[in-house]
């Protein structure tokens, strides 16, 4: 990954978040939640600042970021698509829905479209199993999605 | 509450929320205002009713009228007809699939008849964001009773006598756990609520936190008093924003009412609760991993002993219980251990909440007494299999559990019986499958999950599960041998015996139980290269029945790779070489002429 230099203001924002948690190593996960909320993702440069502030190794922070699926080192699309692949959705055909999204957007899971509009990821159970299969776009929940309906859902965002 | 003569309860759980229940509530409120009835009829956004299949749900009290699949535009009719004129809106009533009759009173619905709601007692009845409603349902009276009338050891004894066992999966006796934690002395102890519900397909903990957060807060305070801890922590998934919001609101209210903080009820007992957020790791449901995660580290499990009750969070004695376990505590204290002890089977007392999902008519959240049979759950509460198809299997216990078959339909469900038949209670996911599910593919699905979620610390789990997955992949591709089948079973046993934590020790269960119960299906995949459910793509062939095909060309026009040839009004043919087995043709054929062989 190309080295991106962080702007001074961004570094200060990270320092501020760390300070709010008392710069305690034990708060690393809470800090990373907040920082990701601010930046959308956790690139290496951001992790370096966090490690420095909490006085732990960069490897320790990198270890946490890569351990938990909630944290990501890659930026997501403007409209992140999350297809639930929990058991309830799986037995009601989530895989076919996922295939259709991949075919429509021509990207794989974990990737972002060239225009930066969409990214696809899988998640395990949002707990709306009554609506299976479920797809989330941003915060919006789509229930009982069929492969045929995928195009219509995408069109809501394509022209927006 | 007394001044209102009618209540309109709307489900505000995650499922119904996604189907616009907030808008329905707003429209009902506006409608009442227009009629000048806002002081006579109250609209309450509650927690989950459990009947997610037909959501969003609107329930009218006191007459128990149960409206299903309500849309925001139906609000006006509910108010004009039901509230003003007293006539039920019949088109929104639930229709019994058996006799096609409308059911006006929810008490008579098959879905609720066999249920016994203890942990979910308040879900769908009270406004979870209003502490006064919880208090009016005897809320915090159990805490008052403990602090005012009982010694800590008496509280522990009461929970022990009740026979309550951990609802998170393992089924460890809760009272015993408390007793061990109480017996370890330290300057600081902790109670932790495990709300890291990671089992895909289980959502009972989320529903309790969304629908009745105060019951968990009250139980944690009781737990703190019983073991001598002044600090509580809730470890909750970041993926549950609504549950987090309701819990934070509830904590704030409890502090305002003096039910958390210093000197609760003037008893000298201090207790408060903080939240810790999970970040998406299934293994964090294991208590040692959970504790490491709360300490800001990777959520890797460690060897027991030392048990958390000896050395847990910050190396201090810590008691970890699951959300559903806690939800049972206040009512046990209020009604007594003896009352609780009468419910359930000999070794499993009380009730269990199950998340019923999959190919079943009534998907939703149910709470049933221990000892109920699968048949009662699937056919009476669940309303049977979707689209009249045949029942094939039910998976309990998530990635740690196993698949049960029609042979187990009459087995009374409790902790020990489920283990005896090769599955486990787990957190309570119950996924029902019909003949369209391939059991080899299901085993592979769970292994894929385990491989992804294995923390990597011990080699049996990290490497062994990966090998299991690869063998299953080979079989579903049609390249398996009978030797592979033996290797699967042997490797599974080795992993079970040697993995470090509960995740690894139970991860081969889906493989072992499907081999045990669906051996023929494995053999078919290996010897006949056939997948009877039509799931394993490599083993399928799409074929047009020349008699049924009328030559409408719909399939050929929709085939993405032009694999279907044929003249108009003449039978079509699918080229097996070109076909990518996407299934688009089957969906488009109106004559049922295309089949998978």
Task: Kindly state the tokens that stand for A36.
Answer: 């990701």
Task: Kindly state the tokens that stand for B546.
Answer: 């020349």
Q: Find out whether B360 and B334 touch, Cβ atoms under 8 Å.
A: no
The pLDDT of residue A4 is 54
Asked if A29 lies within 8 A of B293 by C-beta distance, the reply is yes
Q: Find out whether B156 and B178 touch, Cβ atoms under 8 Å.
A: yes
B352 CB-near residues (< 8 Å, 6+ apart): B167, B367, B368, B370, B413, B425, B428
B198 touches chain A (CB under 8 A): yes
Task: Kindly state the tokens that stand for B499.
Answer: 């993995």
Least Cα distance to B428 among B201, B175, B221, B263 occurs for B201
Task: Nearest chain A residue to B452 by CA: give it.
Answer: A69
Confidence band of A16 (pLDDT split at 50, 70, 90): very high
The alpha-carbon gap from B549 to the nearest alpha carbon of chain A, in Å, equals 23
A127 touches chain B (CB under 8 A): yes
Q: B interface mutation test: which of A36, A87, A106, A146 has the most B CBs within 10 A?
A: A87
What is the distance between the alpha carbons of residues B506 and B377, in angstroms, rounded to a whole number? Answer: 25
Task: Kindly state the tokens that stand for A64.
Answer: 């946490």
B279 touches chain A (CB under 8 A): yes
CA A157 to chain CA centroid, Å, is 18
What is the distance between the alpha carbons of residues B446 and B454, in angstroms, rounded to a whole number? Answer: 12
What is the distance between the alpha carbons of residues B115 and B370, in angstroms, rounded to a whole number? Answer: 11
Q: B interface mutation test: which of A91, A121, A132, A143 has the most B CBs within 10 A?
A: A91
Q: Which residue in the set B52, B282, B299 is minimally distant from A129, CB to CB?
A: B52
The alpha-carbon gap from B155 to the nearest alpha carbon of chain A, in Å, equals 33
CA dist list (Å): A78 to A75, A104, B14, B320, B497: 9, 17, 24, 39, 46
Q: A interface mutation test: which of B246, B296, B403 has the most A CBs within 10 A?
A: B296
Question: For residue range A96-154, what is the model confidence (pLDDT) as tens digits?
Answer: 999 999 999 999 998 899 999 999 998 877 778 888 899 999 888 899 999 999 999 99
CATH fold for domain B351-434: Ubiquitin-like (UB roll) (3.10.20)
Asked if B200 lies within 8 A of A125 by C-beta distance, the reply is yes
Asked if B238 lies within 8 A of A33 by C-beta distance, the reply is yes
What DSSP line would sit under B401-416, residue for residue?
SEEE-GGGTTSBPSHH
Task: Nearest chain B residue to A21 by CA: give it.
Answer: B296
Three state DSSP letters for B225-275? HHHCCCEEEEEEECCCHHHHHHHHHHHHHHHHCCCCEEEECCCCEEEEEEE
Q: B interface mutation test: which of A31, A61, A125, A145 has the most B CBs within 10 A?
A: A125
Task: Kindly state the tokens that stand for B456.
Answer: 């990597």
CATH fold for domain B439-528: de novo design (two linked rop proteins) (1.20.1440)
The residue written with tokens 């309701």 in the block is B246
Half-sphere exposure of B124 (CA within 13 A, CB side): 24
User: Which residue(s) pair with B271 in the sheet?
Assistant: B261
Q: A interface mutation test: which of B198, B199, B237, B279 has the most A CBs within 10 A?
A: B279
A125 touches chain B (CB under 8 A): yes
SS3 A71: coil
Answer yes or no: is the ipTM higher than 0.90.
Answer: no
B280 touches chain A (CB under 8 A): yes
B444 touches chain A (CB under 8 A): no
A47 CB-near residues (< 8 Å, 6+ apart): A58, A61, A62, A65
- Burial of residue B72 (CB within 10 Å: 0-12, 13-18, 19+) is middle
The pLDDT of residue B481 is 97
What is the distance between the alpha carbons of residues B339 and A140, in angstroms, rounded to a whole number? Answer: 44
The alpha-carbon gap from A130 to the nearest alpha carbon of chain B, in Å, equals 5
What is the distance between the alpha carbons of residues B7 and B78, in angstroms, rounded to a whole number? Answer: 12
What is the distance between the alpha carbons of residues B283 and B502, in angstroms, rounded to a whole number? Answer: 9
Helix and strand totals (H; E) in chain A:
7, 4
Least Cα distance to B374 among B413, B341, B336 occurs for B413
B200 touches chain A (CB under 8 A): yes
Task: Kindly state the tokens that stand for A111.
Answer: 């990737």
What is the distance between the alpha carbons of residues A149 and B444, in angstroms, rounded to a whole number? Answer: 27
The pLDDT of residue B1 is 45
A86 touches chain B (CB under 8 A): yes
B463 CB-near residues (< 8 Å, 6+ apart): none
Provide the phi-psi class of B478: left if phi over 0, else alpha when psi is between -120 and 50, else beta: left
CA dist list (Å): B465 to A154, B503, B508: 36, 11, 8
The pLDDT of residue A2 is 43
B120 CB-near residues (< 8 Å, 6+ apart): B48, B50, B204, B207, B208, B211, B212, B327, B353, B365, B367
Task: Nearest chain A residue to B210 by CA: give it.
Answer: A127
Asked if A129 lies within 8 A of B203 by C-beta distance, the reply is yes
| Residues of B with Cβ-Cβ distance to A71 under 8 angstroms | 279-280
The residue written with tokens 């889906």 in the block is B510
SS3 A20: helix
B147 CB-near residues (< 8 Å, 6+ apart): B225, B264, B265, B267, B269
What is the distance between the alpha carbons of residues B47 and B121, in angstroms, rounded to a whole number? Answer: 11
Least Cα distance to B405 among B423, B393, B419 occurs for B393
| Residues of B with Cβ-Cβ distance to A88 under 8 angstroms | 200-201, 355, 357-358, 363, 431
The pLDDT of residue A87 is 83
What is the distance between the alpha carbons of residues B414 and B547, in angstroms, rounded to a whole number? Answer: 51
Domain boundaries defined on chain B: 6-107, 131-340, 351-434, 439-528, 541-596
What's the CATH class of domain B6-107?
A: alpha beta
Nearest 5°: the CA angle B500, B464, B510 is 85
Least Cα distance to B512 among B402, B396, B395 occurs for B402
CATH fold for domain B131-340: Rossmann fold (3.40.50)
Asked if B279 lies within 8 A of A32 by C-beta distance, the reply is yes
Asked if A129 lies within 8 A of B295 by C-beta distance, the reply is no
Question: For residue range A33-61, what is the model confidence (pLDDT) as tens digits?
Answer: 999 999 989 999 999 999 999 999 999 99
Q: Find out whether B197 and B178 touch, Cβ atoms under 8 Å.
A: no
First to last CA, chain A: 31
The alpha-carbon gap from B154 to the nearest alpha carbon of chain A, in Å, equals 35
β-bridge pairing B190-195 and B58-61: unpaired
Q: Number of CB pairs < 8 Å for A and B?
A: 126
A23 CB-near residues (< 8 Å, 6+ apart): A53, A54, A55
B120 touches chain A (CB under 8 A): no
What is the distance between the alpha carbons of residues B487 and B238, in angstroms, rounded to a whole number? Answer: 39
A143 touches chain B (CB under 8 A): yes
What is the distance between the alpha carbons of residues B563 and B577, in angstroms, rounded to a whole number? Answer: 8
Instruction: Give the residues of chain B that fall short of pLDDT 50.
Output: 1-2
Q: Which residue in the set A25, A91, A92 is minimally distant from B296, CB to CB?
A: A25
Asked if A128 lies within 8 A of B15 by C-beta distance, the reply is yes
Asked if A64 lies within 8 A of B298 by C-beta distance, the reply is yes
Asked if A90 lies within 8 A of B277 by C-beta distance, the reply is no
A68 touches chain B (CB under 8 A): yes
The residue written with tokens 């030559």 in the block is B551
What is the distance between the alpha carbons of residues B505 and B170, in angstroms, rounded to a whole number? Answer: 12
Q: Find out whether B226 and B330 touch, Cβ atoms under 8 Å.
A: no
Q: Find out whether B384 and B390 touch, Cβ atoms under 8 Å.
A: no
Asked if B280 lies within 8 A of A69 by C-beta distance, the reply is yes
B199 touches chain A (CB under 8 A): yes
The residue written with tokens 């790791």 in the block is B281
Task: Kindly state the tokens that stand for B463.
Answer: 């490497």
CATH fold for domain B541-596: Alpha-Beta Plaits (3.30.70)
A74 touches chain B (CB under 8 A): no
What is the distance between the alpha carbons of residues B454 and B251, in angstroms, rounded to a whole number? Answer: 34
β-bridge pairing B391-396 and B429-434: antiparallel
Asked if B239 lies within 8 A of A123 by C-beta distance, the reply is yes
SS3 A51: helix
B480 CB-near residues (< 8 Å, 6+ apart): B471, B474, B522, B525, B526
| Residues of A with Cβ-Cβ distance to B455 under 8 angstroms | 67
Q: Find out whether B263 and B269 touch, Cβ atoms under 8 Å.
A: yes
Confidence band of A91 (pLDDT split at 50, 70, 90): confident
A63 touches chain B (CB under 8 A): yes
Task: Nearest chain B residue to A92 by CA: give it.
Answer: B358
A85 touches chain B (CB under 8 A): yes
């Amino acid at each position: 990954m190309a080295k991106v230099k962080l702007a001074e203001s961004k570094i200060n924002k990270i320092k501020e978040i760390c300070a709010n948690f008392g710069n305690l190593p034990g708060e690393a996960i809470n800090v990373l939640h907040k920082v990701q909320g601010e930046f959308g993702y956790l690139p290496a440069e951001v992790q370096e600042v966090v490690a420095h502030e909490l006085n732990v190794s960069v490897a320790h922070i990198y270890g946490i970021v890569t351990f938990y699926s909630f944290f990501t080192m890659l930026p997501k699309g403007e409209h992140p698509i999350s297809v639930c692949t929990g058991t309830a959705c799986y037995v009601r055909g989530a895989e076919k829905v996922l295939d259709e999204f991949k075919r429509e957007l021509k990207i794989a899971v974990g990737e972002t479209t060239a225009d930066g509009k969409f990214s696809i990821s899988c998640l395990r159970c949002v707990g709306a199993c009554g609506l299976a299969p479920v797809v989330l776009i941003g915060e919006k929940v789509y229930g009982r999605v069929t492969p045929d309906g995928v195009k219509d859902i995408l069109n809501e965002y394509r022209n927006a | 509450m007394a001044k209102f003569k009618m209540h309109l309860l709307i489900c505000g759980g995650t499922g119904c929320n996604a189907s616009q229940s907030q808008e329905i509530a707003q429209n009902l409120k506006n409608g009442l205002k227009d009629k000048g009835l806002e002081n006579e009829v109250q609209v309450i956004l509650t927690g989950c009713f459990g009947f997610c299949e037909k959501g969003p749900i609107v329930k009218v009290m006191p007459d128990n009228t149960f409206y299903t699949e309500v849309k925001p535009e139906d609000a006006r009719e509910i108010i004009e007809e039901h509230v003003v004129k007293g006539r039920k809106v019949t088109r929104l009533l639930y229709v019994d699939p058996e006799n096609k009759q409308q059911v006006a009173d929810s008490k008579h619905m098959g879905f609720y008849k066999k249920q016994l709601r203890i942990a979910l007692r308040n879900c769908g009845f009270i406004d979870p964001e209003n502490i006064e409603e919880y208090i009016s349902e005897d809320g915090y009276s159990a805490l008052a009773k403990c602090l005012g009338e009982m010694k800590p050891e008496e509280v522990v004894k009461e929970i022990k006598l009740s026979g309550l066992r951990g609802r998170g999966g393992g089924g460890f006796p809760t009272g015993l756990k408390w007793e061990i934690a109480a017996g370890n002395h330290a300057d600081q102890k902790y109670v932790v609520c495990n709300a890291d519900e990671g089992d895909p397909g289980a959502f009972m903990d989320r529903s309790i936190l969304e629908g009745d957060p105060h019951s968990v807060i009250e139980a944690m305070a009781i737990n703190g008093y019983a073991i001598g801890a002044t600090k509580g922590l809730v470890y909750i998934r970041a993926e549950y924003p609504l549950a987090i919001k309701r819990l934070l609101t509830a904590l704030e209210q409890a502090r305002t009412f003096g039910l958390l903080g210093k000197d609760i009820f003037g008893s000298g007992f201090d207790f408060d609760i903080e939240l810790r957020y999970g970040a998406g790791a299934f293994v964090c449901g294991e208590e040692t991993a959970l504790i490491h995660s709360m300490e800001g580290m990777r959520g890797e499990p460690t060897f027991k002993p030392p048990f958390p009750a000896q050395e847990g969070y910050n190396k201090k004695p810590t008691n970890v219980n699951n959300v559903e376990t806690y939800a049972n505590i206040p009512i046990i204290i209020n009604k007594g251990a003896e009352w609780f002890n009468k419910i359930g089977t000999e070794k499993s007392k009380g009730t269990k909440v199950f998340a019923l999902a999959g190919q079943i008519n009534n998907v939703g959240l149910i709470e049933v007494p221990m000892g109920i049979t699968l048949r009662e759950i699937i056919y009476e509460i669940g309303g049977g299999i979707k689209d009249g198809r045949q029942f094939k299997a039910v998976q309990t216990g998530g990635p740690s559990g196993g698949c049960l078959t029609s042979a187990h339909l009459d087995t009374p469900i409790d902790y020990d019986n489920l283990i005896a038949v090769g599955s486990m209670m787990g957190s309570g996911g119950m996924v029902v499958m019909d003949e369209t599910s391939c059991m080899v593919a299901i085993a592979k699905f769970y292994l894929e999950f385990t491989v992804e979620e294995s923390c990597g610390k011990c080699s049996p789990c990290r490497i062994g599960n990966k090998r299991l997955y690869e063998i299953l992949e080979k079989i579903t591709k049609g390249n398996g041998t009978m030797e592979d089948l033996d290797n699967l079973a042997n490797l599974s046993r080795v992993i079970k015996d040697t993995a470090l934590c509960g995740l690894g020790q139970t991860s081969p269960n889906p493989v072992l139980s499907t081999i045990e119960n669906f051996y023929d299906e494995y053999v078919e995949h290996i010897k006949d290269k056939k997948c009877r459910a039509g799931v394993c793509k490599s083993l399928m062939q799409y074929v047009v029945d020349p008699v049924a095909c009328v030559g409408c060309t719909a399939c050929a026009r929709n085939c993405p790779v032009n694999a279907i040839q044929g003249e108009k009004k003449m039978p079509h043919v699918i080229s097996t070489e070109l076909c990518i087995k996407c299934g688009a043709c089957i969906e488009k054929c109106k004559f049922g002429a295309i089949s998978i062989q």
